[in-house]
Amino acid sequence: MKKRIDLTGRQFNDLTVLSKAGIKERGRFWNVKCVCGKEFMIEQSLLKNGVIKDCGHESLTQTVKKKKSKKASNGTGYVGVTKNELKSGTRYKANISVKGKNKHLGTFLTLEEAIAARQEAEEKYR
């Protein structure tokens, strides 16, 4: 018969084992606490093999950072505002999609004006 291992108090990545949760059809389960403070139950094999490293707070943080990061595709970093280089200088176009149709909001001399127009349209159409 296999010797049962007590994981209580052990650290696995960002997770600390609090207590044994019991045995279910898929295997042994443990109550763990993440460094962020969230407590949950996890299967022993997922814990020991490093499949689950935290409660998911890291991916949420990455998602928030990704949403706040500059979008390189349009050159301005703002959704619905694009930069146009012309012989007469740089202009900024503001657009918004309303019910599947693209609506041109105007062409502006400054990025701030284009952003303001876009935000105003978001309030109006949403």
Per the CB < 8 A criterion, the answer to whether 47 and 30 are in contact is yes
Residue type, 121: A
* Distance from the first to the final alpha carbon of the chain: 64
Residue 116 has pLDDT above 90, yes or no: yes
Residue 122 has pLDDT above 70, yes or no: yes
pTM: 0.48
Report DSSP state, residue 21.
E
Domain edges within the chain: 11-55, 73-125
DSSP class per residue in 50-81: TS--SSSHHHHHHHHHHHHS--TTTSSSSTTE
**Across all residues in the chain, what is the average pLDDT?**
86
CA distance 21 to 95: 54
Q: What is the pLDDT of residues 29-63, one digit of tens each?
A: 999 999 989 999 999 989 889 888 888 877 766 76
What's residue 68's pLDDT?
57
